[in-house]
Amino acid sequence: MSTIELAGARPFTYRFDPATSALVVIDMQRDFIEPGGFGASLGNDVTRLQAIVPTVRRLLDAWRATGGLIVHTREAHARDLSDCPPSKRLRGTPSLRIGDAGPMGRILVTGEPGSQIVAELAPAPGEVVIDKPGKGMFHATGLDSLLHAQGITHLVFTGVTTEVCVQTSMREANDRGYECLLIEDGTESYFPEFKAATLAMITAQGAIVGWVADSAELIGALAR
Ligand code: C5J
């Protein structure tokens, strides 16, 4: 496969070659998407996030058909919480804090049921799975070296939440020189106004952080 053009992307055409691109699925974990997890413990309505699962599944299927690299991230801390600064654990008044025992095991802790990716989007053998202690996917992970070693220059983002882990990861990627695209209907926030603001911010000023396109255009282009 050679260069693909998404003419409907904003703020202008996004070009990529699947051979040097990765699909990145950010934090589609039970802890954010199902009742009883971290997202719900902060008082959020998780149904908004559940709604994008079928779209992300279609994107995964289309990308898998190209044989391209897929990266899944999970926001998940070590069992002793040595990688969770007190500033993160103690801020605010959630009903359950990171590391506390909840209905799906300890909140945002590696290996617990809640930290698993939802069943519909489970990583396939050979796909990269990164546990990250931060909001951004490059902080305290070896992901940049892994992507460089595979010749990846372009990243297509999906996942949750748009303005927190997705946007942070996309900004980190942009600073590292990756050409970044966010799939509008493949990302969601607990707060619709924050999603809209994020899409506007990243595409402003001539794609200062990156591009936005919808899943139908990407899936159609991959299938041609
Ligand atoms: C949050 C995330 N929202 N995955 N994490 O705390 O966006």
State yes or no: pLDDT of 171 exceeds 90. yes
Question: What separation in Å is there between the alpha carbon of 223 and the centre of ligand 1?
Answer: 31
pLDDT bin (cut points 50, 70, 90) of residue 31 is very high
Tokens 């959630």 label which residue? 94
Question: What's the number of CA atoms in the CB half-sphere (13 Å) around residue 168?
Answer: 16
Q: Is 188 in the pocket of ligand 1 (CB under 6 A)?
A: no
Phi, psi of 16 (to 5 degrees): -155, 160
170-185 average pLDDT score: 98
Task: Tell me the helices (H) and strands (E) count for the chain, helix number first.
Answer: 9, 10
State yes or no: pLDDT of 194 exceeds 70. yes
Residues pairing with 59 in the sheet: none
Q: Which atom of ligand 1 is nearest to the CA of 190?
A: 3
User: In testing the pocket of ligand 1, which one of 24, 26, 31, 32 has its CB within 8 Å of the most ligand atoms?
Assistant: 32
pLDDT bin (cut points 50, 70, 90) of residue 70 is very high
**Cβ distance 207 to 12 under 8 Å?**
yes
Residue 27 annotated in active site: yes
What is the structure's pLDDT at 175?
98
Query: Can you say whether the dihedral through the CA atoms of 191, 45, 187, 71 is positive or negative?
Result: positive
Residue 80 annotated in active site: no
Contacts of 42 (CB under 8 A, 6+ apart): 92, 94
What is the structure's pLDDT at 191?
98
126-155 average pLDDT score: 98
24-32 average pLDDT score: 98
- Tell me the C-alpha distance between 89 and 87, whole Å: 6
pLDDT bin (cut points 50, 70, 90) of residue 184 is very high
**166 vs 13, 93, 155, 224, CA distance in Å?**
21, 23, 12, 28
Give the E-state strand segments of 151-196 in sequence order: 154-160, 179-188
State yes or no: pLDDT of 1 exceeds 70. no
Q: Is 163 in the pocket of ligand 1 (CB under 6 A)?
A: no
pTM of the predicted model as reported, rounded to 2 decimal places? 0.98
- Tell me the C-alpha distance between 105 and 115, whole Å: 9
- Tell me the C-alpha distance between 3 and 148, whole Å: 19
Burial 151-174 (b: 16+ CB within 10 A, else e): ebebbbbbbbbbbbbbbbbbbbbb
Q: Is 112 in the pocket of ligand 1 (CB under 6 A)?
A: no
176-198 average pLDDT score: 98
